[in-house]
Structure 1
Amino acid sequence: MKILSIQSAVAYGHVGNSAAVFPLQRIGVDVLPVYTVNFSNHTGYGAWKGPLIAPDDVAAVIEGIQERGAFPQIDAVLSGYQGSEGIADVVIDAVARVKAANPAAVYACDPVMGNAKSGCFVAPAIPVLLREKVVPVADIITPNQFELGFLTGTEPDTIESTLASADEARAMGPSTVLVTSVERPDREPGTIEMLVVDDAGAWIVQTPQLPMKANGSGDVTAALFTAHYIESKDAATALARTASSVFDLLDNTLNSGERELQLVASQEAYAHPRMQFAVRQVR
């Protein structure tokens, strides 16, 4: 499997491609990473060094990959945090080019905007671009519950309302919606959920909610789910594998006492998921 991953990169820590590439490689995926920023660290620290990469330069890297004849072998395009407004057009163009070379390829979009606790943390134009231009051309999207609400103009909280919001998102274009950080009022205390909806049905998985904030965990989630979904062609299987791996990554990080994801130390969790959480069909 080959994935063209268009995301940010940091030297210190793990977000964007610096979070997604290694877990994908560890499960046997050949990743072609294209960077949209090249920062010293993620912006959550409040200070960082390094450049945003101009959209024309990002497009030039993708064009160079195409010139090497790689596009017919690419199974998926994956995108995450978009550092500047012009990146959306670059991603959309890359998706069109890859699909022209390989009609079976899919586009997985992680529509990074923010979360329920912090609100939006991207430039004001980015959420609108994602909703109006990027999400409609995606096959898979992986929003958190907050981002799903923005995309659809709804307020998902219960299973029923989250399913309805996911259906509205699917009506925009994507056939598969993975909703992360699902927090419904009637869930068991100390838990958090992920829910996936596709043409075959809907499934939910519940894990303990760990007392931590983990920058980059959503990037790992989107990457692993995309690869598992393509490989297994089964949403429930992809959900179970992803939930298992990401929980163990987060648990290892919490136990380490470190702020940054313990990405390398957790590699066995990607290669051999423990499958410790039951997936339940809800539709």
Structure 2
Amino acid sequence: MNVLSIQSHVAYGHVGNASAVFPMQRLGVEVWPIHTVQFSNHTGYGSWKGRVFDGMAIEELLDGIADRGVLSRCDGVLSGYMGSSDIGTAILSAVARVRTLNPDALYCCDPVIGDVGRGIFVRPGIPEFMREQAIPAADIITPNQFELDFLSGVTTETLASVKEAIAAVHLLGPRVVLSTSILVQETPEDSVDLVAGEGGRFWRVRTPRLSLSVNGAGDAIAALFFVHYARTRSAAKALEEASASVFGLLKRTEEAGSREILTIAAQEEFVTPTYRFPAEEI
């Protein structure tokens, strides 16, 4: 399996491609990473060095890959943080080029827009681009609860409203939706839910809620869910596998007291997760 992964990258730590690429490689996937930004570290530290690339840079790198004659062997495109709308346009162009050569290729969009407590944190124009262009082009999307609410126009306070929101997003185009970090009335205080929808059916995985705050977990679960879905064509199975791996990764990170997720030290969690959680149809 070959995946073109177009998202941000950091030299130190694990967010964006630095969080998504290695887990996919550990699962035996050949990954072709293109970075939308390259920073010294994630912006949560308050200061960083580096730069945001433009759409032309993304197109140039894709042209170079195409010159190798391999785009027809690309099984899927994964995108995350875009940085600017012209980068988004370049990503959708990449998706179109891949699909022209391989109509079976999947596009998974992690619609990075914002988060609960922080609100929208991307540049102006990106949220609208996501909702109006990227989401309709995607086969799979992986929004957190804040992003699910934004994209659907539904305020999710109950499990029923989460299902309503996912159904509304399905109408925009994606056939598979994974929503992460779900906290609603039915969620116990010591737990967190993940909910996936496909074909009018919904599944929930509930895991213990950990006491840590790290960046990059969303990038990892999007990548893992994408790979497992591409291989099984089952949202329920992909949900079980991805949630197990990410919980194990975060549990190891919490135990170590690390500010960065232990992507390398906990790499066995991607292949043989320590903890398993059933996907319950809801």
How far off is 1:200 after superposition?
6.2
Structure 1 residue runs of 5 or longer lacking an equivalent are none
Aligned to 2:61: 61
How many angstroms apart in 2 are the aligned matches of 1:214 and 1:3? 25
- The correspondence of residues 1-283 of structure 1 with structure 2, limited to 5 A, is 1-199=1-199, 201-274=201-274, 276-282=276-282
| Cα distance, 1:83 vs structure 2 | 1.2
State the SS of the aligned residue for 1:41: coil
- The CA deviation string for residues 40-96 of structure 1, in whole angstroms up to 9 with x for no partner, is 011111111011112101110011111111111111100000112211100110000
Q: What are structure 2's unaligned runs of at least 5 residues?
A: none
> CA–CA distance in 2 between the matches of 1:84 and 1:44?
19
Q: TM-score, structure 1 length as denominator? A: 0.98
* Deviations, residues 216-254 of structure 1 (Å, cap 9, x unaligned): 000000000000001111111110010100001111111
> Which 4+ stretches in 1 moved above 3 angstroms?
none
Q: Is the 8 A contact 2:193 2:204 kept in 1?
A: yes
Indicate conservation of the 8 Å contact 2:16/2:219, yes or no: yes
RMSD (CA atoms)? 1.0
Instruction: Single out whichever of 152-161 and 98-107 deviates more from structure 2.
Output: 152-161
State the AA in 2 paired with 1:172: L
Aligned amino acid, residue 15 of structure 2: V
Identify if the C-alpha distance between structure 1 residues 275 and 252 changes in structure 2 by more than 3 Å, giving closer, same or farther.
closer
Q: Percent identity?
A: 45
SS in 2 for 1:122: coil
Return the alpha-carbon distance in structure 2 between the equivalents of residues 195 and 265 of structure 1. 28
TM-score w.r.t. length of structure 2 = 0.98
User: Aligned equivalents of 1:176 and 1:158: distance in 2?
Assistant: 20
| Amino acid corresponding to residue 225 of structure 1 in structure 2 | F
Measured in 2, the distance between the counterparts of 1:10 and 1:127 equals: 23
Once residues 152 and 186 of structure 1 are traced to their aligned partners in structure 2, the CA distance between those partners, rounded to angstroms, is: 20
- SS of corresponding position for 1:24: helix
Render the CA deviation track for 1:178-219: whole Å, top value 9, x for unaligned. Answer: 010110112222100100001162110000111111200000
- Determine if contact 2:154/2:164 at 8 Å carries over to the other structure: no
Partner Cα distance (1:71, 1:222) in 2: 22
Shift of 1:11: 0.3
Contact in 2 for aligned 1:24/1:223 (Cα 8 Å): yes
Task: Work out whether residues 4 and 32 of structure 2, in 8 Å CA contact, stay in contact via their aligned partners in 1.
Answer: yes
Cα drift, residue 278 of structure 1: 1.6
Query: Equivalents in 1 of 2:3, 2:137: separation in Å?
Result: 17
State the one-letter code of the partner of 1:16: G
Work out the CA distance in 1 between the residues paired with 2:76 and 2:251: 29
CA drift at 1:157? 2.2
